[in-house]
Every structure is written in C-alpha cells, then in structure tokens.
Amino acid sequence: MRGRGHVKSRRELAAMREPGRITALALEAVQAAIRPGVTPLELDAIAEGVIRAHGAVPNFQLEPGYEHTLCVGVNDVVVHGIPDERPLEAGDLVTVDCGATIGGFHGDAAITVVLPGGDPERTAARQRLSDVTEGALWAGIAALASAKQLGEVGAAVEDHIEANSDFGISDDYIGHGIGRAMHEDPPVFNYRTRVAGPAVKPGLCVAIEPIIHAGSTETTIDDDGWTVRSADGSDACQWEHSVAVHSGGIWVLTALDGGAAGLAPFGIAPAPIADR
C-alpha cells in the first residue's frame, strides 16, 4: 500500500532517524550471521530480535498477509522472497530487505551478500552483479545531493548500470517515498523517464532501490503470491537505502554513518539532521 506522502518538517525528519538506525542495526546483525548452512528463517529471527529489542516493530509484518520481518531473495528471486528453512549454500547470492517502524515513522533498506565458496566463476559473476547494483545505489544517492528534480536519480542509476555492465534494470519494481507509511509517493524510478519528477527540496524522504537482473527482466510470481523470480532463472540483485533531504544536505537514514563511506568517492559528505 502507498500513502500520499508529503514534505517532512525538520521535526519529522529528526524522528525518521531512529527507524532508519534500527533498520541498519538489524541488517548489520544479519550480515554478521549470514553464511552457508544458515537458513533465511534464522536470519529473520535475528532481525526481528534486534528490531524489537530497540522498541520498534518490523514493518513488513504490518503488510496484510505477510508474517515475516525480512524478505530474503536467493539467486533468481527478484523481490519479496519469503524466508524459509532451506539452508543457504556456498556461492549463493542473498538479498535481504528489512524495515522497522517506531514513533510513527518507517525505515526500509536492503543489502546483498554473496556467500564465499561454490563454483568460482559463478560466485565471481554474482559478486560483480552485487557490486554494480550497490554502485548504482550510491550513484543515485549522490545524484540526489545536487538534484533539482527527482528524475535525476533514476538517470544516475541507469548511467551507472550501462557504463559498467549489460545488466537489465527492472521496470516493474521501483523505489518510493517513505515516512509515516513505508510506501509513499513519489515513485523513485531506476531509469530515465520523460517526466522529470517532483522537485527535490528539504523534507523529501525516499527509498532508492536499484533492482537489477543478470539476464532477462521478465518475471514470474510463485504460488505463494509473494516471491517474484526471474522468468529465465537468471540471478537478480537489490540494494536499498532510505535517504532524507534537508536544509543542510542529505542524510542516509539507514546507514549508521549517514552514508559517509558510500558518498566519499563522489566527494560528498552527508549532513546530520538537526533536532530542531
């Protein structure tokens, strides 16, 4: 479900720091635990434990019909993978999407981890897919720092993908505004659009999430009604951060350093959000 969204006040932006921070801590714990032999359901329990220990609620569980804290995509799963009991294997490409809500606001982020081992050539190809996708995410975030219109973010994501690969960009699944609802307007595309999009101004909060395919961008949905897979069985990857624009600059809400490390190669320093 998507809320209307609105320009956030300075107080609302400050309130969004905590759900973003908790989302980041949950993903940090998952990343520390992920390895061959661990199941997605075990990762789900770890993330839920972190979120609830900080007084927050897993916002994915608030989606009608969804019972889990995470979406976990393995290899050909594009989005919305339901955590299960199948142990992860060496060489798997694992995308973990997570969110938390506290104080009436939401955080949303995703990481991808390629497990060591397995067939060296396939593992290397999966790592390249993850690296290019993560690079596209940071290119989009960097573009947001100076953008006049939100469409510049999608153009930067597309430019990065095309300059570094022949991967395909999903046109079915895109980023979104975030705030009092996990999914708000405006839509955040991962490619150029004819319409430039809304103005980028203080108070804008968006989740930027490139979703990239190693092969065809055509998809199918499993019988569970949630799990989206690449129709040709090829690998897919997602990286995501929630980002706030404020009068001092931008702040990556779901990065514990505000995005400092990811933005450094672009010569951009994130600006903390003041309390008032």
What is the model's pTM? 0.96
Distances, alpha carbon 243 to alpha carbons 9, 96, 185, 229, 267, in Å? 15, 18, 14, 27, 17
CA 151 to chain centre: 18
Residues in the chain: 276
Residue-wise pLDDT for 125-178, tens only, equals 999 999 999 999 999 999 999 999 999 999 999 999 999 999 999 999 999 999
The predicted structure's pLDDT at residue 222: 97
Residue-wise pLDDT for 238-267, tens only, equals 999 999 999 999 999 999 999 999 999 999
Beta 228-230 vs 219-221: how paired, if at all? antiparallel
CA 168 to chain centre: 17
Q: Which CATH number fits domain 10-266: 3.30.450.20, 3.30.200.20, 1.10.287.3510, 3.90.230.10?
A: 3.90.230.10
Question: For residues 154, 160, 166 and 169, what is the CA-based torsion angle, rounded to 10 degrees?
Answer: -20
- Per-residue pLDDT for 5 more than 80? no
In the chain, where do the E strands start and end?
Answer: 57-58, 70-74, 77-79, 93-102, 105-114, 168-169, 175-177, 184-188, 205-208, 211-213, 219-221, 228-230, 236-238, 241-246, 249-252
- Per-residue pLDDT for 2 more than 70? no
Residue-wise pLDDT for 30-64, tens only, equals 999 999 999 999 999 999 999 999 999 999 999 99
- CA–CA distance, 212 with 6 (Å, rounded to integer): 28
- Give rounded-to-5 percent helix, strand, coil for the chain: 30, 25, 40
Give, rounded to a whole angstrom, the gap between the first and last alpha carbons of the chain.
31
The predicted structure's pLDDT at residue 107: 98
Q: What is the DSSP string of 226-239?
A: S-EEETT---EEE-
Alpha-carbon Rg for the chain, nearest whole angstrom, is 17
Overall average pLDDT of the 67-80 stretch = 98
The predicted structure's pLDDT at residue 6: 76
Residue-wise pLDDT for 101-133, tens only, equals 999 999 999 999 999 999 999 999 999 999 999
Query: What are the domain boundaries of the chain?
Result: 10-266
The predicted structure's pLDDT at residue 4: 57
* Residue 180 pLDDT class (50, 70, 90 cuts): very high
* Residue 276 pLDDT class (50, 70, 90 cuts): low
The predicted structure's pLDDT at residue 22: 98
* Residue 10 pLDDT class (50, 70, 90 cuts): very high
The predicted structure's pLDDT at residue 94: 98
The predicted structure's pLDDT at residue 190: 97
Backbone angles phi, psi at 88, to 5 degrees: -65, 150
* Residue 1 pLDDT class (50, 70, 90 cuts): very low
Contacts of 165 (CB under 8 A, 6+ apart): 128, 129, 132
